Structure 1
Amino acid sequence: MFENLCTLPLSAELFTQVLHPTEPLLGVGLSSGHVQCFRLPAADRSSDDDDDSNADVLSDGKGTIDTVWRTRRHKGSCRTLAFSNDGSALYSAGTDYLLKHFSPVTGQVASKIAIPSTRSIPDSPSLLHVLSPQTLLLACDSGALHLLDLRDGALAKSKPQQTHFPHDDFVSSITPLPPSAESTSGYSKQWISTGGTTLAVTDLRRGVLVRSDDQEDELLCAAFIPGMGPKKSRGSGIVAVGTGTGILTLWDKGAWDDQQDRVVVDPVKGGGESLDCIVQVPEDIARGKKVAIGMGDGSLRIVDLVKREVEGTLRHDDIEAVVGIGFDCQGRMISGGGQTIKIWEQAPSLAQDDSESDSDSEADDSDDDDDDDDKVARKNGTKRQTSRNSDNDSDSDEEGSKRKKKRRKGKAPVDLGPHGAHGVLRFNGLD
């Protein structure tokens, strides 16, 4: 299981989050149109390192979360973000119908284009995914999936190389399939997508290959889990798909007509909370095939796919849904939803805790009180940073925030008391 290190408050509702592939960088896109990049501290940072008073302090007191830059990237909401494969570029798309390419280090915009439209009115983006160094996938609310070839200068023109319609509703997830053994580039040319009540497989060269049967349940998120399924050969695996009624469906690779198995994540009669986002837990942390799932009720569930059961439950928020979840390059779990980001670290194993408690019992019992005080101090060790803005786009305030999912309704604010929803101390004047 995981323990919460700190809670990072945001200035507006979170729409999307993305993690750098090799650096401890976190990018967030907000309903206000702002895009913000944070640098997370190194996990092995020394306690002798200098502290920045204008930073969000991690709960161990040894590191800070620094704002690298912050800017209002879009006049409407920032719907989606994506890093390039090597992390050298960051892309965003918003409800101002613009797609922008900029530096993740400085936030400086390199290029931008108008989002292609397949109908008489502009089409809002729903998802971005970088398939390879040459191919950027852009999904829209109309169900259109545009393929932009970056070698052709696609970010300087609005005409995509290809456009497909794998679903009748907006695309809710894109999951690349591993490249075949014959691949010379090492990059995927096929991907799984979900939208509405169907799952589809699309090929970069041949278009939509197959669409599943109607699942009679909204499919919201997906993750490819290698090394599972009936054939455990190279490239084998299953696709775990989260639904709107709290059921995790499992699909064997190559059998895309219908689901092969299911796990009840939220067992509520008549349908549980929605499974809004999913990520595989790194195997060196999980010691097996497990996924972390963000729920519509603000909870996080860890599911063991081998045992087909929920292993544990965590709480991100008491009100808002979890809209983003991932693992950074140092193995920490990052969850986001509402106006908060939470950072989680793997908790010590029960065996390790038992051995430590046995050795401590032989020592002076007075040390327990000091340890408890240290834990409380660490749990409450979060404060807000004064952001350093780099407003490169000179965008004006025009459009209010907009919910990405049509089925989700707004909820009235609730007074959670002086310690917030999860016991994290909040300071007056800091949001």
Structure 2
Amino acid sequence: MPDIQVGEQVFDVAFHPAESLLYTGLLTGEVKAFRYDDQGQHESAFTVRPSKKSCRALETDADGAYLWTAGKGKGLHTIDVSTHKVVESRKNAHEAPINRIKCLLPHMLATGDDDGVVKLWDPRKPDAVRTYTKHFDFISDFLWLEDKKHLVASSGDGTLSVMDVRSGKTEPHAQSEDQEDELLSMVTIKDNSKVVVGTQLGMLSIFNRKSGWGDCVDRVPGHPHSIDALCPLPSTYPSAHSTILTGSSDGLVRAVQLFPTKLLGVVADHGEFPVERIKVDRAGEGRWVASAGHEETVKMTDLKDVFEDEEGGGDGECEEEKDEGQGQKFGVEEENDSDEEGEEREEEEQETPTVVVQEGPKDSSEEGDDAEDQEGKDSDDEGDDSDAPVQERKRKRKPEKDPLAAPGRRKKGRNEVVADPAFFADL
């Protein structure tokens, strides 16, 4: 689908839960709606301006009849989608600009602002039902856990808070320790048993609900910049229980599989603009994913095309990973060829691999234990023969430790010398 041009910077996007309708919240305070079809064609549906200040957050109710908007103006506005009009406005709903809105239950809505205040609303009542003030920095994202009726909030103060909406207490049910990093986005995996949190430093922090909310149980590196948006994959895909979509400030929307960690591919590229919002249509079960950043367009990507190409690859690896694997295989074949060239001179076979693999004395394999001990004392960079296989295994595992990093040039091994093939012709 061609990019949807909206004319102003996009702050948030939302889909109608049942219809092919996309909402965009803009810097000017306008809310623009667009209709689209399966062939990728789109057209403008309506435009509403609830506030003169920027619209930062959008959310629809369960059946899509109403659209809630909020932003820098600190007010909470309700739009009737059928009439395209603002039917209710709660001015000064917060004392600070509102960043996030989340629909929890048919008659319950949550909002979070720049000061870390979280409020619960009943759309039938004018005032907030409950207010939480545990955070002291902006609320970056909300996560709703239906089974426990828990609302999870992430904050720029480096903590998560868990609120039981069934309780009348204004204190959170649980709160994590300081993660020493801004927490920007959240999503669940493994049938909601684990919570993945995106951070400012580009780390994915994994929280296990069974282990409590005190601290994360794992961290997954790989993103070069902050992870501003996370989104689950539709459940129709086989790996949906452990695969997420990540939006980073490097401008890329990635499909990432966790446990084991693997980069499945790049879904969308926003160039130099950071990605701050990712949504999938049809209440998260559709085929179109919308991504937006600091640009005046919304990218619509067909997930079916992305993952059909991946399934055609067989093992689910992206082309970059395949190329990297082929390069490693090619290196092994070169070593085998060099051994065949040395068959005619059996007396020099022990010296040849020493020249190719290690920087050190060519006759190290012929020296005794005393000579090996002396070599260990002369140089800390050179190890004995027993350390060589360990170093080789570490080099092979490097791609697994940082699977999300963009592949670059192959680095020379610690004790490896790159020799021209003509070198072996004279041996």
TM range (shorter): 0.5 to 0.7
Pair 1:10 & 2:13 matched: no
CA distance in 2, matches of 1:179, 1:104: 30
Structure 1 match to 2:200:
244
Counterpart among 99, 103, 108 of residue 135 in structure 1: 108
CA contact (8 A) 2:115 2:135 kept: no
CA distance in 1, matches of 2:74, 2:104: 21
CA contact (8 A) 2:264 2:310 kept: no
Structure 2 match to 1:190:
150
CA contact (8 A) 1:194 1:222 kept: yes
CA contact (8 A) 1:249 1:261 kept: yes
Larger relative contact order (Cα-Cα within 8 Å, sequence gap ≥ 6): 1
CA contact (8 A) 2:252 2:268 kept: yes
Structure 2 match to 1:147:
120
TM-score, structure 2 as length reference: 0.67
* 3-state SS of 1:323 partner: strand
Q: 1:350 to 1:124 in 2, by over 3 A?
A: closer
Query: What amino acid does structure 1 have at the position aligned with 2:297?
Result: T
Pair 1:110 & 2:93 matched: no
Structure 2 match to 1:70:
47
Pair 1:225 & 2:183 matched: no
Structure 2 match to 1:334:
290
Counterpart among 56, 59, 63 of residue 79 in structure 1: 56
Q: Which has the higher helix share?
A: 2
* Deviations, residues 358-405 of structure 1 (Å, cap 9, x unaligned): xxxxxxxxxxxxxxxxxxxxxxxxxxxxxxxxxxxxxxxxxxxxxxxx
Structure 1 match to 2:128:
160
CA distance in 1, matches of 2:152, 2:73: 27
Q: 1:306 to 1:353 in 2, by over 3 A?
A: closer
Q: 1:298 to 1:353 in 2, by over 3 A?
A: closer
Query: What amino acid does structure 2 have at the position aligned with 1:300?
Result: V
* 3-state SS of 1:293 partner: strand
CA distance in 2, matches of 1:317, 1:352: 25
* 3-state SS of 2:236 partner: helix
CA distance in 1, matches of 2:200, 2:275: 13
* Deviations, residues 216-255 of structure 1 (Å, cap 9, x unaligned): 111000012242xxxxxxxx51101000011111111142
CA contact (8 A) 1:68 1:106 kept: no
Structure 2 match to 1:88:
65
Query: What amino acid does structure 1 have at the position aligned with 2:180?
Result: E
Q: Please state how far the C-alpha of 1:332 moved relative to its aligned partner.
A: 1.5
Pair 1:311 & 2:268 matched: no
CA distance in 1, matches of 2:110, 2:178: 24
Query: What amino acid does structure 1 have at the position aligned with 2:253?
Result: L
Q: Please state how far the C-alpha of 1:6 moved relative to its aligned partner.
A: 1.9
CA distance in 2, matches of 1:286, 1:27: 29
Q: 1:214 to 1:350 in 2, by over 3 A?
A: closer
Query: What amino acid does structure 1 have at the position aligned with 2:103?
Result: V
Q: Please state how far the C-alpha of 1:21 moved relative to its aligned partner.
A: 1.5
Structure 1 match to 2:245:
292
CA contact (8 A) 2:13 2:290 kept: no
CA distance in 1, matches of 2:313, 2:258: 26
Structure 2 match to 1:35:
31
Q: Which runs of 5+ in 1 are unaligned?
A: 46-57, 59-63, 181-188, 228-235, 267-271, 355-431
* 3-state SS of 1:349 partner: helix
Query: What amino acid does structure 2 have at the position aligned with 1:132?
Result: L
Query: What amino acid does structure 2 have at the position aligned with 1:249?
Result: S
Q: 1:353 to 1:193 in 2, by over 3 A?
A: closer
Q: 1:351 to 1:12 in 2, by over 3 A?
A: closer
CA distance in 2, matches of 1:283, 1:265: 25
Counterpart among 173, 177, 194 of residue 141 in structure 2: 173
Counterpart among 220, 223, 230 of residue 278 in structure 1: 230
* Deviations, residues 11-62 of structure 1 (Å, cap 9, x unaligned): 1101111111221111100011110111121x2x6xxxxxxxxxxxx3xxxx
* Deviations, residues 337-370 of structure 1 (Å, cap 9, x unaligned): 221111111223356589xxxxxxxxxxxxxxxx
Query: What amino acid does structure 1 have at the position aligned with 2:121?
Result: L
TM-score, structure 1 as length reference: 0.66
* Deviations, residues 95-117 of structure 1 (Å, cap 9, x unaligned): 22221111123321111111334
CA contact (8 A) 1:278 1:291 kept: yes
CA distance in 1, matches of 2:119, 2:222: 33
Query: What amino acid does structure 1 have at the position aligned with 2:155?
Result: G
Q: 1:24 to 1:213 in 2, by over 3 A?
A: same
**Identity across matched positions, percent:** 27
Q: Which runs of 5+ in 2 are unaligned?
A: 315-427
Pair 1:257 & 2:183 matched: no
CA distance in 1, matches of 2:80, 2:229: 26
CA contact (8 A) 1:12 1:339 kept: yes
Query: What amino acid does structure 1 have at the position aligned with 2:116?
Result: G
CA distance in 2, matches of 1:351, 1:149: 45
Report the number of matched residues.
301
* Deviations, residues 154-205 of structure 1 (Å, cap 9, x unaligned): 2xx3x3111002321111011001224xxxxxxxx21111002011111112
Root mean square deviation, CA, Å:
1.9
Query: What amino acid does structure 1 have at the position aligned with 2:209?
Result: K
